[in-house]
Structure 1
Amino acid sequence: MHPDVVVIGSLNMDLVVRAPRLPKGGETLAGHTFTTAPGGKGANQAVAAARLGARVAMIGCVGADPYGDFLTRSLLQEGIDCRGVWVAPEVPTGIASILVDDQGQNAIVIVAGGNGELSAAQLQAQEPLLDQAKLVIAQLEVPLATVGDALARAHALGKTAILNPAPATGPLPAEWYAHIDYLVPNESEASLLTGLPVENLEQAEVAARQLVTAGARQVLLTLGSQGLLQVTADSCRHHPATAVKAVDTTAAGDTFLGGFAAGLAEGLSVEAAIALGQQAAAIAVTRPGAQPSIPTRQELAR
């Protein structure tokens, strides 16, 4: 079956430590538990979109090692098309070292591994997948040149292009914005993209409007427990979040984005797709882990 959604991005093995709190510099803490789980922003978003109803294909790169095999098998078990997952023979699979405290907040260090090998040449080889899709999703855990090429290809093919600018380190290349239909940053990412503070709703709106002025068609600025700000050239709407007790926020943004993309792919309005993504994210933060926390569409109906 043709995919509705193609995700271009990272596949990581998550190495998760739970501890009472995040350590200070030079401090050693005793942790509660250690687990491993499939992750990576690209793979997380692909799994979320698939569990929430979309037909999904993944384009990415892993190493020729047990982690790479495990991550690819995990996606296949979700019904995700993995023809676009390439194996780089001389690098390890990407990993993310994740520390989660008792309040559900996290600190993450990623090592790119195979993710750093994804190139425009691999994208070109998978252009039939892109041509079949309705939406193309990208993030920043693969080389920036590859992301820019993905956005340009999606735009040229008339596809809806969604960029999650994570992890952001500064402004995006100016030429990218004309290719972005939905830009989905969180507060810290919006601040890094614009150079503006984003510490309340008023500041969030100012930053989001700057990103729209730069050329993004819509900005969906995620605000954690405060919900989301939806900004276009002529409107601004706040979508409050459902109040829940957070256990682990690791994949909240990825779950939202996957649900949002699944909603758009099935023809929901932008507002209804946002609501679907928020509903899924509200469940995900009540569970530990990245991909293990992502709910199915059937769970949302309960």
Structure 2
Amino acid sequence: MSDAQPTFDIVTAGELLAEFVAERRGQRFTEAGRFLGPFPSGAPAIFASQAARMGARVAYVGCVGEDGFGELIRERLTADGIDIGAVACDPERPTGTAFVRYRDDGERDFVFNLAHSAAARLALDEAGLARLADTRYLHVMGSSLTSPAAIALIDALVARVQARGGQVSFDPNIRPELMRDPASRDAVLRRVDDCDIFLPSEADIAWLGEGEAEADTVARLLATKRLSLLVLKRAERGSEAFGAGEHQRVGAFKVTERDPTGAGDCFGGALIAALAGGETLARALTLASAAGAHAVTRIGPMEGASDRITLDALIASPGDFT
């Protein structure tokens, strides 16, 4: 990367969708019930919203339909200060949707319409690739590696960004249904191989370890892959960072959970935005932990994204920090 400041701090690409949330825990998809929404959503969009609200210069690559849901999403991204020059409107397919319900035990079930929606149609011309490759960080979500078009686009962006000296962060968000598709599985493993910052959950590490001890999997990834920083997300038990001979742990803030969707995405958005802004790793991890905690206190996937003032207030509060 040249001495000139990059155009963007963070670029991300992937699914954009409208989400509907079951109003009552235990509500089933097989019976009539009330759903709250539509909420703008998509894992990369939640990440982007959090990063942009912290002051990062963020650009998004995605596609919505020419409908009210698409307008809702574009308006939210724009309001958060995100560059949507590469968010296309498809006149032939509707905006993607997701319906989510919560079981009595708190686990979630989803019904998606992505494969046959505008969300699956990602594309950039040569000029678009050149413009968006001028970034400090490219963030990739495993949930976005579900269509040939998305995989090809992200492959091209990764190569361009790293060739210019930028870094790639990757949140694998591994889902069993995604891993049944050989192309998606290969794309996820390729990103594990070539990312600079890796943001797995405990379940992701277990999947990659295939039976080995967690510590052994972390050590193996650091020793054999390109990555220089691995941040292991442990939900209510905080997070751990490994890399460059260091090991840091940050606890979790105790809050009242209303909707867990988007917590990990907000964690990642705050972390990468803080690193892009020159914060120390310890400070970035603390901000990320606060962002993840704040996210679960609001209903709706992007509604819990927060700015630095909100996060600093949470960090300074006398509440529990485990």
What is the TM-score of this pair, normalised by structure 2?
0.81
Moved more, 11-20 or 246-255: 11-20
Q: Determine which of 185, 188, 195 is the counterpart of 2:210.
A: 195
Deviation (angstroms), 1:102: 6.6
1:186 is the counterpart of 2:191: no
- Summarize the alignment of residues 38-77 of structure 1 with structure 2, pairs less than 5 Å apart: 38-77=40-79
1:150 is the counterpart of 2:157: yes
The equivalent of 2:312 in structure 1 is 301
Q: Distance in 2 between matches of 1:248 and 1:278?
A: 16
Deviation (angstroms), 1:43: 0.9
Q: Determine which of 252, 266, 271 is the counterpart of 1:260.
A: 271
Q: Distance in 2 between matches of 1:163 and 1:16?
A: 27
Deviation (angstroms), 1:15: 1.4
Task: Note closer, same or farther for the CA distance 1:150–1:89 as it changes in structure 2 (3 Å cut).
Answer: same
Q: Distance in 2 between matches of 1:217 and 1:179?
A: 11
Q: Name the SS of the counterpart of 1:72 in structure 2.
A: helix
Determine if contact 1:106/1:249 at 8 Å carries over to the other structure: no
Q: Name the SS of the counterpart of 1:293 in structure 2.
A: coil
The equivalent of 2:216 in structure 1 is 206
Task: Report the AA paired with residue 119 of structure 2.
Answer: N
1:238 is the counterpart of 2:245: no
Task: Note closer, same or farther for the CA distance 1:129–1:30 as it changes in structure 2 (3 Å cut).
Answer: same
- Summarize the alignment of residues 61-210 of structure 1 with structure 2, pairs less than 5 Å apart: 61-101=63-103, 105-112=107-114, 113-119=117-123, 122=124, 124-140=126-142, 141-142=144-145, 143-168=150-175, 169-170=178-179, 172-173=186-187, 175-196=190-211, 203-210=213-220
Deviation (angstroms), 1:283: 1.1
Q: Distance in 1 between matches of 2:234 and 2:16?
A: 25
Q: Name the SS of the counterpart of 2:260 in structure 1.
A: coil
**Unaligned regions of 5+ residues in structure 1, if any?**
198-202
Deviations 1:67-113 (A, max 9, x none): 11221111111111110112233222121221135775433333322
Determine if contact 2:21/2:36 at 8 Å carries over to the other structure: yes
Deviations 1:15-69 (A, max 9, x none): 111322375xxx8467565322000011111101011221211111112222112
Determine if contact 1:22/1:107 at 8 Å carries over to the other structure: no
Identity percentage over the alignment?
28
Task: Note closer, same or farther for the CA distance 1:153–1:109 as it changes in structure 2 (3 Å cut).
Answer: farther
Equivalent pairs counted in the alignment come to 292
What is the TM-score of this pair, normalised by structure 1?
0.86
1:286 is the counterpart of 2:286: no
Task: Note closer, same or farther for the CA distance 1:109–1:219 as it changes in structure 2 (3 Å cut).
Answer: farther
Q: Distance in 2 between matches of 1:4 and 1:237?
A: 24
Q: Name the SS of the counterpart of 1:241 in structure 2.
A: coil
**Unaligned regions of 5+ residues in structure 2, if any?**
1-5, 180-184, 314-322
Moved more, 287-296 or 101-110: 101-110
1:6 is the counterpart of 2:17: no
Deviation (angstroms), 1:154: 1.7
Determine if contact 1:19/1:29 at 8 Å carries over to the other structure: no
Deviation (angstroms), 1:158: 0.9
Alpha carbon RMSD of aligned pairs, Å? Answer: 2.6
Task: Report the AA paired with residue 195 of structure 1.
Answer: E
The equivalent of 1:200 in structure 2 is none
Determine if contact 1:212/1:233 at 8 Å carries over to the other structure: no
Determine if contact 2:172/2:199 at 8 Å carries over to the other structure: yes
